[in-house]
Amino acid sequence: MISSTSIHHGSLILFWSDVRPVTAPFLKRDPHVDVKMSTEEQPLALVVVGNATTEGRIRSIMKHQGWRTEFCGDGDKAVDEYVRLQPDLVFLALDIPSMNGHIAALEMRETDYSARIAIITSRSGTAKAGDAAYSVGAVGVLVTPLTQSVFDEQWEAMMGEIPPAPGLADLDELYPEVEEAEMPVLPPPPLMPPVPEAVEMPSEDSPESEPELPAKKRGWGRRIIILIVLAAVGAQVGVYLEYIDPIVIINLSDL
């Protein structure tokens, strides 16, 4: 709003102007003023903290200030929810599943450079949250446990000008670390057992081979004949050498 006023003082004319920045009505609303608005007119806050107690506190405080809230507990999904809902303010913790809150915030700023993000952290993580807030251009850092006084102290800063996000220049370098962390190390595949040699199966057309029969045992008759022949030869030799009576030889020959 611009207004001008002139004052005549003798021959001297003074002019001054009152210049006031125009902002959205909900950004400058007193947090303690309860204004009834329809659900569509209420500004929207997306809460991504992954803690039921903190979510309940944010819901209660923002409802008292005339805001509606949506919740998401997953960093990767929160980026999609931001694109879908287009919230006026995002409360984001750094330690959330799937995707680090720092990366998720940079993703939101890359999608919409005017994204208004406030970092939620514990007292022990204040230093880390401060570095992330500078990287993503956050409008504030809220330390748990959250109270109405914490919001009152930072409300004007959270509704003020959105800082730049210098961390966007390093987003491509941060992505490989995220992908490597998400990729599980798989064990080597088990060794395949050796393939057994192919066994030739007899075809249906080929005649079945007859089983081999055991060899017949030779009879004792042939052995007896051989013994008789050997005995006869031996007897003839004995007669020649005069060791055996010829009569015995004749009897053996008759056999």
Q: What is the pLDDT of residue 15?
A: 35
Say how many domains are in the chain.
Answer: 2
Q: What is the mean pLDDT of residues 112-128?
A: 95
Query: Left if phi > 0, otherwise alpha if psi is -120 to 50, otherwise beta: which for 89?
Result: beta
Q: What is the tens place of the pLDDT at every residue in 180-227?
A: 455 666 777 777 677 666 656 666 655 555 556 555 555 566 677 777
Is 74 within the bounds of a domain? yes
Residue range(s) defining the domain that contains residue 246: 224-254
Residue 163 falls inside a structural domain: yes
* Reported confidence tier of residue 242, pLDDT bands at 50, 70, 90: low
Report angle CA 163, 43, 1 to the nearest 5 degrees.
65
Domain limit, last residue, from 122, 155, 182: 182
Determine if the pTM surpasses 0.85: no
Higher-pLDDT residue of 15, 48:
48
61 shares a domain with 178: yes
Name the band, by pLDDT with cuts 50, 70 and 90, for residue 47: very high
Residues 6+ away with beta carbon under 8 Å from 141: 118, 119, 121, 126, 129, 130, 133
Q: What's the average model confidence in pLDDT over 129-145?
A: 95
Specify whether 51 is located in the same domain as 173. Answer: yes
106 in the same domain as 232:
no
Question: pLDDT above 90 covers what percent of the chain?
Answer: 49
Residue 204 lies in a domain: no
Give Cα 120 to chain centroid, integer Å. Answer: 25
Residue showing tokens 């409360």: 91
Report the distance separating Cα 17 and Cα 194, nearest Å.
93
The pair of three-digit structure tokens given for residue 133, joined into one six-digit string:
């807030």
Answer yes or no: do 124 and 234 share one domain: no
Tell me whether residue 102 is in a domain.
Answer: yes
Higher pLDDT, 62 or 19: 62
Three-state DSSP at 131 gives: helix
Q: What is the mean pLDDT of residues 223-242?
A: 68
pLDDT of residue 14: 38
Q: Is residue 97 part of a domain?
A: yes
In 144-219, alpha helices (H): 148-158, 171-182
Confidence check: pLDDT of 31 > 90: no
- If asked whether residues 141 and 246 sit together in one domain, one would say no
**176 shares its domain with 241:** no
CA-nearest of 62, 32, 56 to 44 is 62
Residue 189 resides in a domain: no
Q: Cα separation of 81 and 137, whole Å?
A: 20
Q: Are 83 and 141 contained in the same domain?
A: yes
Residue 90 lies in a domain: yes
Tell me the residue length of the chain. Answer: 255
pLDDT tens digits, 60-117: 999 999 999 999 989 999 999 999 999 999 999 999 998 999 999 999 999 999 999 9
**pLDDT of 1 over the 70 cut:** no
Q: Which of 182, 202, 234 is the last residue of a domain?
A: 182
- The answer to whether position 171 is within a domain reads yes
* pLDDT of res. 10: 43
As a whole number, mean pLDDT of residues 236-240 equals: 62
